[in-house]
Amino acid sequence: MLKTRIFKRYLRWAYKKGAEDLVKLNFKPGFKKEDFTCLLCGVGSEQTANEFIRFVTNRNPRAKIWIIDLGEKQVTAVKKLVKERLAKFDVNIRRVNALELNKLLPEASLDWIETDGFLEYFDRQSLKRLLTIWHGLLNADGFITTRDFVSSSRITITTDAFRIWLAKRWLGVSLFRHTKKELVSLFKSSGFNFVVGPTPLPTYKRFTLVKRS
């Protein structure tokens, strides 16, 4: 799925929508500033890395880009892509657990954290820790864009339970179900202002967060 043309189009749409959400938050992202630094957290595939790097470098060719993932395959594929096609940009790729990002990156060193379908890899407690780490890594004008599944009605709880079972059964991946109410409460208590928006998938929501000062 992550390698299809539709997903590529979806990502372009999502990045554009994230920028529009920032306007709703009265926030002007500093893409063009000299030391603009961003992180793609849990890259998933080289196609996503490619879209992200192009989105950022079209706005600022000198931006510093970090890309991380826990998966060896993902990291190897992205390193190959960058070495072969995007070597002129400042891209740093690491295999690291997002819950240990504070060992890799200094406090207040990031302007933007982007990720997609990532929050559901964390149970409630780890998600709280992840948001605390992200909050610490973002500078005062830092922001986050992401999209994720939320369970709300009895129907979505059932379809999510099935999706989570499938992920475990076929991919061996443990995912965790979160409600919109739960995520909203976590964002608030972790020090963010945010907006929530739709995506083309009814149970998949868009979240854009700005660090509260």
Tell me how far, at minimum, the Cβ of 32 lies from ligand SAM, in Å. 24
**Do the bridges between strand 204-211 and strand 138-149 make them parallel or antiparallel, or are there none, so unpaired?**
antiparallel
Q: Which residue's CB is nearer to ligand SAM, number 37 or number 48? A: 48
Which 8-state DSSP code applies to residue 98? G
Angle between the 124-137 and 180-189 helix axes, to the nearest 10 degrees?
A: 40
Least distance between ligand SAM and beta carbon 79 (Å): 14
Residue 10 Cβ vs ligand SAM, minimum distance, rounded to whole Å: 9
Measured from the CB atom, the residue of 43 and 105 that comes closer to ligand SAM is: 43
DSSP state of 153: S
Binding positions for ligand SAM, 6-45, rule CB under 6 A: 42-45
Tell which residue, 101, 102, 123, 116, has the closest CA to residue 183: 123
Please, what is the minimum distance in Å from the beta carbon of residue 191 to ligand SAM? Answer: 21
Which residue, 19 or 43, is less far from ligand SAM as judged by CB? 43
| Tokens 């892509």 -> residue | 81
SS3 call for 109: coil
CB of 97 to ligand SAM, least distance (A): 5
Which residue in 36, 55, 66, 121 binds ligand SAM (CB under 6 A)?
Answer: 121
Rounded alpha-carbon distances, angstroms, from residue 110 to 31, 37, 45, 189? 12, 5, 22, 20
167 binds ligand SAM (CB under 6 A): no
Residue among 69, 111, 148, 160 that touches ligand SAM (CB under 6 A): 69
Contact 91, 37 (CB under 8 A): no
CA distance linking residue 202 with residue 41, whole number of Å: 24
Q: Which of 30, 71, 191, 197 binds ligand SAM (CB under 6 A)?
A: 71
152-156: which pairs have CB atoms within 8 A and are 24 or more residues apart?
A: 152/179, 152/180, 152/203, 156/203
> Binder to ligand SAM among 74, 145, 156, 208 (CB under 6 A)?
74
Contact 105, 66 (CB under 8 A): yes
Q: Enumerate residues 91-120 that contact ligand SAM by CB under 6 A.
A: 97-99, 115-118
Residues at the interface with ligand SAM (CB under 6 A): 2, 42-45, 48, 68-71, 74, 97-99, 115-118, 121
